[in-house]
Amino acid sequence: MKYKLLGRSGLRVSELALGTMTFGEDWGWGASKDESRKMFDLYASQGGNFIDTAVNYTDGTSEKFVGDFISSDRDHFVLATKFTLNTRRPDPNFGGNHRKNLMRSVEQSLTQLKTDFIDLLWLHAWDFTTPLDEVMRTLDDLVRSGKVLYLGISDTPAWIVSQANTMADLRGWTPFAALQIPYSLIERTPERDLLPMARVLDLAVTPWGILGSGVLSGKYNSDAKASGRAQLRGPVSEKSLTIAREAESIAKEIGATTSQVAVAWLRKQEGVIVPILGARTPDQLSDNLKSLEIHLEPAHLKRLDEVSKIELGFPYGFLNLASDMIFGASADQLENHHRK
């Protein structure tokens, strides 16, 4: 396992993160403590140090398991958890991004994790309710208190993230260093604005849903299995199946699994990309960890890009067409290092 800097910070995180939403069986699925421990030990044995959880995962069990697992070497691990989502459904103040819930949630996480600080605190999702300056000032207070070291933001529109870091920089508050979003061969819509923003603001990106709800594992590639999945979890689109089948074809060519190809493609994307591995069994996690050994040739990447490409929509399509009107006859003579 190699390491990357967490965006604009100096924090070193392993090139794959361990997602722990499957730690605990409180939601009717997931892994027991023994199985969770095996997955944690397997990840750590490969050099992994970046653990991702949340205050609400499996009703707090995930944090409790993680706290137990890291206790023998707490300072080695980069512990990331999240606030926002409601942990007492009848109570309106037990969810959201406001100061009361944020402070309460962090204290709950510290208790469940059995630690006195959180390495990386994620805002889990934007609530479209709390004023941005309230969020950023409260987060900065937590950093200054020493209870939180670094900040990240998840599942939030790009314009809000941009505004947040601009505000933080102007006011001398702690900015976000990382962005967590769904991103995979199946879900490439973040390429429209979230990923370009992350590169410009130097945010590390930790994608979740990297196997597209299991579609990129290849297990639904037969029509019969896709139909069975449709009855349980909704239909699999024909485009998604086409993408998965192309990944499976490449996997057979290079002696890999379809999941490994999907993760390897993700790791090749531009910017600081640290995929989150979520698994229910040690075997699944072991398979995903082996993606570090997979090499995709340019021809493989081109095939995957073409089969999964999306329309960027307005304004990008329009601005590409308008290039001649903007630059005139010099359009082909300008070497523009700002545009990638």
Active site residues: 57
Estimate the crossing angle of helix 132-145 against helix 158-171, to 10 degrees. 60
Distance CA(232)–CA(186), nearest Å, equals: 19
The residue type at 224: A
Contact 233, 268 (CB under 8 A): no
Distance CA(246)–CA(265), nearest Å, equals: 12
Contact 175, 151 (CB under 8 A): yes
Q: Tell me the two tokens of residue 71.
A: 């206790």
Indicate the SS3 state at residue 305: helix
Q: Tell me the two tokens of residue 222.
A: 């037969």
Q: Tell me the two tokens of residue 321.
A: 């067409």
Reference 57, options 91, 23, 95, 84; nearest CA is 23
The residue type at 73: D
Reference 6, options 207, 158, 156, 176; nearest CA is 176
Distance CA(223)–CA(236), nearest Å, equals: 10
